[in-house]
């Protein structure tokens, strides 16, 4: 059997685009072993499937996030119908958590769970050589009418991360990538590519699924700098996105990378795709980031209510976060954060406390989203156990962070789905709509798509009554410009009000 492998990045509807590093690491490892590899990105090429079928690969690998599950199922069935001898394999976050559900699709032969570089290579070698899959690690598959699972390989060590070949960016249409690349409201570079300098996260946040493990493994600073140099030499990039969950976890290594960027690559811009923890940043790090070409920092704060942060297992001191945001602004950064609305146990009082907190910060942007209870997270288990999932939560297509199209996936005794939608619109209006300074910052950014979404929310907000019966955009609490607590002492005891979607459940 020939050694052709196809790797597929499905489209998800959140409006963002960035090359998938995990997929490109797979491609690099496969190429190094002598496999012929082609990558297909549905966001860049919606008609990719016909080209894939013409390529006639021996193995097809899909990387699957939850919002892409249904699209992958449709594509897998078509591939299997046309190429029955081809192995169709799913990997990534969703199959790692729910492999049995994924394998219910008859077009998918196996799931690779967890870190997949070498497990997927083993699978491809076994398949093209006509061997058995019994000894392939990290594998879940159907066999003789039952599900069989093989033990997982140990997570790659720091030394093994250093030894990985560079991601196979040469397989992409990079001019299309550069034209489509997004990440937040603010972007400086025109030729931007991502890089991974570490894997793993030790924090127990209940809304997050740590598919790369709790143990943080880091690449050596000189290896990271060499890769950045290669990206500049080969692809003429002018900005690098660092895609780590916790870039500053090892402070001295982070400083070495930042100082190396400053000395070796003057003029390069740096951005952190997943933001930084406010309690893992200090004045020295901020100065090093700025000197290395950093211009925007997103801080993962999630809520301005200490009580809700406790419910989330988000171990963060809000006053520490406040001081770091102020330090970042003093050093010339644009700053952003995010606010999750609808966490189980959250009340209207918590929401108002949150928006007061975020309005008190010198933030240039705030992403306000409904809770997404991803499979494999602690909060997902809570919602399932207590019956908090809405009808919309039964559709995997809704598991992404949208801007204009708010689809609450959770309703609780203290916040119905309608409450959550109203609260998100209200928070957007209170953060942006009554602050010309913030609105003008957003309008001057490259992401003009945000403004129509904001206008839509403000218009919808004006058409809805508040829970007190007052117009939603009237503040009655003096200089703060915030409405009074709309629930008062009733908030923790209020019965859930189901919206139309929830009534269909």
Please compute the mean of the pLDDT values over residues 390-416 and round it to a whole number: 92
User: In degrees to the nearest 10, what's the CA dihedral of 103, 104, 107, 110?
Assistant: 10
Q: How far apart are CA 4 and CA 293, in angstroms?
A: 40
Q: How confident is the model at residue 99 (pLDDT cuts 50, 70, 90)?
A: very high
Nearest C-alpha neighbor of 297 from the set 279, 277, 267, 320: 277
Question: At which residue do the structure tokens 């995997």 appear?
Answer: 396
Confidence band (pLDDT; 50, 70, 90) for 480?
very low
Task: Say yes or no to pLDDT of 455 above 70.
Answer: no
> How far is Cα 393 from Cα 420, in angstroms, rounded to an integer?
14
Q: Which residue has the tokens 């892409």?
A: 68
Q: How far apart are CA 400 and CA 19, in angstroms?
A: 17
Mean pLDDT lowest for which of 129-133, 192-196, 294-298, 493-497?
493-497
For 40-62, what is each residue's pLDDT tens digit? 999 999 999 999 999 999 999 99
Domains of the chain (ranges; CATH) run: 4-149 (3.40.50.280)
Mean pLDDT, to the nearest integer, of 223-251? 97
DSSP code of residue 432: I
Percent of the chain with pLDDT over 70: 85
Write out the H or E segment, with its range, that includes residue 378.
helix 378-386
Backbone φ and ψ for 226, nearest 5 degrees, come out as -65, -40
Supply the pTM of this predicted model: 0.86
The pLDDT tens digits for 310-340 are: 999 999 999 999 999 999 999 999 999 999 9
Which residues lie across from 276 on neighbouring strands? 299
Give the distance, in angstroms, between the CA of residue 37 and the centroid of all CA atoms in the same chain: 26
């Amino acid at each position: 059997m020939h050694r052709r492998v196809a790797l597929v990045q499905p489209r998800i509807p959140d409006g963002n685009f960035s090359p998938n590093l995990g997929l490109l690491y797979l491609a690099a490892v496969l190429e190094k072993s002598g496999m012929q590899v082609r990558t297909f990105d549905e966001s860049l090429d919606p008609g990719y499937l016909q080209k894939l079928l013409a390529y006639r690969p021996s193995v097809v690998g899909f990387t699957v996030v939850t919002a892409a599950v249904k699209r992958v199922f449709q594509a897998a069935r078509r591939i299997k119908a046309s190429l029955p001898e081809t192995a169709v394999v799913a990997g990534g976050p969703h199959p790692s958590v729910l492999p049995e559900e994924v394998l219910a699709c008859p077009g998918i032969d196996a799931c690779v769970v967890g870190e997949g570089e070498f497990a997927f290579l083993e699978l491809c070698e076994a398949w093209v050589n006509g061997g058995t899959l019994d000894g392939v690690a990290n594998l879940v598959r159907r066999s003789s009418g039952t599900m069989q699972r093989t033990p997982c390989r140990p997570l790659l060590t720091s030394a093994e991360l250093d030894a990985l070949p560079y991601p196979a960016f040469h397989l992409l249409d990079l001019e299309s990538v550069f034209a489509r690349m997004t990440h937040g409201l603010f972007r400086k570079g025109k030729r931007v590519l991502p890089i991974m300098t570490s894997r793993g996260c030790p924090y127990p946040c209940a809304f997050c699924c740590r598919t790369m493990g709790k143990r943080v493994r880091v690449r050596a600073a000189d290896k990271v700098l060499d890769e950045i140099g290669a990206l500049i030499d080969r692809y003429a990039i002018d900005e690098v996105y660092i895609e780590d969950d916790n870039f500053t976890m090892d402070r001295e290594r982070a400083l070495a990378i930042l100082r190396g960027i400053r000395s070796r690559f003057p003029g390069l811009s740096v951005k952190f795709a997943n933001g930084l923890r406010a309690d893992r940043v200090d004045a020295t790090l901020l100065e090093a980031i700025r000197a290395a070409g950093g211009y925007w920092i997103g801080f993962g704060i999630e809520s301005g209510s200490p009580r809700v942060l406790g419910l989330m297992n988000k171990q963060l001191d809000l006053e520490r976060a406040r001081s770091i945001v102020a330090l970042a602004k003093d050093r010339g950064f644009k700053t952003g954060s995010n606010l999750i609305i609808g966490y189980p146990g959250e009340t209207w009082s918590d929401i108002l406390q949150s928006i007061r907190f975020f309005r008190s910060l010198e933030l240039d942007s705030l992403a306000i989203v409904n809770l997404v209870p991803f499979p494999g997270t602690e909060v997902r288990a809570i919602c399932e156990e207590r019956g908090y999932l809405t009808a919309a939560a039964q559709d995997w297509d809704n598991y992404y962070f949208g801007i204009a199209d708010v689809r609450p996936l959770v309703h609780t005794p203290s916040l119905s789905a309608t409450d959550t939608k109203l609260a998100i619109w209200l928070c957007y209006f209170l953060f942006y709509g009554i602050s010309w300074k913030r609105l003008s910052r957003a309008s001057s950014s490259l992401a003009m798509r945000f403004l129509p979404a904001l206008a839509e929310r403000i218009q919808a907000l004006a058409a809805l009554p508040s829970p007190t019966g007052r117009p939603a955009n009237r503040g009655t609490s003096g200089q703060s410009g915030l409405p009074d607590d709309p629930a008062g002492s009733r908030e923790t005891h209020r019965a859930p009000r189901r919206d139309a979607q929830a009534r269909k459940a």
